[in-house]
A and B are shown apart, each in its own frame.
Chain A
Amino acid sequence: MITLSHVSKAYGPKAVLTDVTVQFPTGRITSLIGPNGAGKTTLLMLIARLQQASAGELCLDGQAIGQWAVRDYAKRVATLRQTPDFNLRLTVDELVAFGRFPYSQGALTADDRRIIDEAIAFLSLEALRGQYVDELSGGQRQMAFLAMTIAQQTPYLLLDEPLNNLDMKHAVLIMRALRRLCDEHGRTVILVVHDINFAANYSDHIVAMKRGTVRFCGPVAEVIDETRLRELFDLDFEILPAGRGFVCNYFNPSLSPELP
């Protein structure tokens, strides 16, 4: 269980998070949604220990995250950040192998090899194994990085906008993979996602943020409705039932033709 109590974060005089108290349920996919500048990524970076909170307490499995040794924390929580530029000369295989670093410190065992193979097979990346990461397309590269994160075999996965700049197919592939990680392997997944439809259709739990505070949170079915989303995004929403799940239409909702 990851819990945050009264967490604040400020860069100089600018407050990015103010008094955030929230829990992330174990064994579920939680989507952090909200407009730009809401503090979603900052919140994720605090949990990943890539930044430090200005105030408040973050706990992982009942222990303050600052008390975990760096190496042990890497065996509990894996984080995937956006990878805009990557100019290292290494293959997909070598990249995924880095996921085993917290365990093997660079000297791969047969066990590590097996886990790397499994992670690559899990995302069906066998054909890309020998290719260089800097020569892959954006979608393939994101899949390769996800494979590394999976190979880290942590109970918790944090992903910062994993669907950014991806085509529809790769976006669906990534979300399906996350769903399977959660359902088949019992991993807890927390991700920042901008596409409200992916958030609504693939996750179990929603944490909605705006201007550094949590506006609402809870199971998808309970919290996704037109009023809440309109208040959150300052946009009109129309929620339409689909064959499976539902579609949040904000492109051109029939309710009101004009924006506020």
Chain B
Amino acid sequence: MSRLDARLGIWLLVAALAVAFVLLGSGLDMAYVIPRRLTRLAAIGVAGVCIGCSSVIFQTLTGNRILTPAIMGYEAVYLLFQALLILLIGTHSLILLGRHGNVWLSILLMLGYSWLLHRWLLRDGRQNVYLLLLVGLVLSLVLSTLTQFIQLKVSPGEFSILQGFNYASFNKAQPLQVAYSAVLAALACLVVRRTLPVLDVLALGRDQAIVLGVDHLRAVSVQMAVIAVLVAVSTSLIGPTAFMGVFVANLTYTLARTFRHRVTLPLASGVAMALFIVAQYLVEQAFNYNMSVNILINLVCGAYFLALMTRTRGTA
């Protein structure tokens, strides 16, 4: 029954945090403060689902609990694109493309990158997920270095704009962007919903999945596509989250005490949302925006996870 408690508990917690986040210190200002906070809350909801689900699914496919989709280089593509825009067109690019033009181009680029990577590496039945990971990692290193190279070439003003892209932030979110991000994420979730039992089988590994009658190559391709959509949506919405997903996924496994994706995926979404709300609240109220969500979450989760590992002697 503790399983049920964790599931129910996390959503009660998310609900309580959400109410507190919107109302605390708002002065009930319906004209400006509350609508803005609701937008940020919605962005947190969408990003929570994206990061929670993509991390857990990615760890299932790779059979590895210390990885997130960031290793595949999606975020590096996003950052390189932003750097190239600034280098080639300068800060005008922000106006030229408009916020939404930039977002859609980023999403399309990340999806295209993922499609090329899979086409190249999963072709002719070479079903080696580790090769995919290795190439993804090397590519993301190369792309990040390129980005750094460009950052050193631009003016200090432009450099500070680029720095802003490096950290996750919910402050950039605009209602329209949150809306279409939500639609994309919902479509990805519909696919996941239909393949929940297959995900459970994929967790047993390639051989066992084939033995149990799963078309492994096809199933992995579908899930990788879902991950690409979720990561593209969250990265374009709030920026790169790097390895935050590791904490989210591992906290989820500890709370869920089961591998079933029917349980872990919603729970991971809830955990991510709760963390984001708390971090964003602290950024806004305690640190007056002089702090990034990444730093807070990595700090708090890292400490909590270490404590968990010591207390349970590594079985967490």
Contacts and interface: CB of A to CB of B under 8 A. Distances in A.
A50 B213 contact: no
A79 B206 CA distance: 13
Contact of A88 (B125, B198, B204, B212): B204
Interface string A23-61: 000000000000000000000000011101000000000
Interface in B209-260: 210-215, 253, 257-259
A88 B211 contact: no
A79 B259 contact: no
B207 A101 contact: no
Contact of B125 (A52, A81, A102): A52
B208 interface: yes
B136 to A, nearest CB: 23
Contact of A98 (B204, B207, B210, B257): B204
Contacts of B204: 88, 98
Given A70-B214, A102-B212, A88 B203 contact: yes
Interface residues of B, number: 20
Given A89-B253, A101-B197, A79 B214 contact: no
B196 interface: yes
Interface in B177-203: 196-198, 200-201, 203
A215 interface: no
A101 B125 CA distance: 23
A74 B204 CA distance: 15
B300 to A, nearest CB: 25
A90 B211 contact: no
A194 interface: no
B257 A106 contact: no
Given A98-B201, A98-B204, A106-B196, A74 B258 contact: no
Contacts, number: 55
Q: Which of B198, B207, B214, B253 has the most CB of A within 10 A?
A: B207
Most A CB within 10 A of own CB, among B201, B208, B214: B208
Nearest to B200: A106
Given A52-B125, A89-B253, A89-B259, A105 B211 contact: no
A49 B197 contact: no
B259 A70 contact: no
Contact of B211 (A78, A89, A106): A78
Contacts of A72: 213
A159 B202 CA distance: 20
Contacts of B258: 89-90
Given A52-B125, A89-B253, A89-B257, A79 B200 contact: no
A50 B201 contact: no
Interface in A84-133: 88-90, 98-99, 101-102, 105-107
A101 B210 contact: no
A102 B213 contact: yes
Contact of A81 (B200, B208, B257): B208
A71 interface: yes
Contacts of A48: 210-211
30 contacts: A48-B210, A48-B211, A49-B210, A50-B207, A50-B210, A50-B211, A52-B125, A70-B214, A70-B215, A71-B213, A72-B213, A74-B211, A74-B213, A79-B211, A81-B211, A89-B253, A89-B257, A89-B258, A89-B259, A90-B258, A90-B259, A98-B200, A98-B201, A101-B197, A101-B213, A102-B212, A102-B213, A105-B198, A106-B196, A152-B212
Closest 3 interchain pairs by CB? A106-B197, A74-B213, A102-B213
Given A48-B211, A70-B210, A98-B212, 19 more contacts: A48-B210, A49-B210, A50-B210, A52-B125, A73-B213, A78-B211, A79-B211, A81-B207, A81-B208, A81-B211, A88-B259, A89-B257, A89-B258, A101-B201, A102-B213, A105-B197, A106-B196, A106-B197, A106-B198
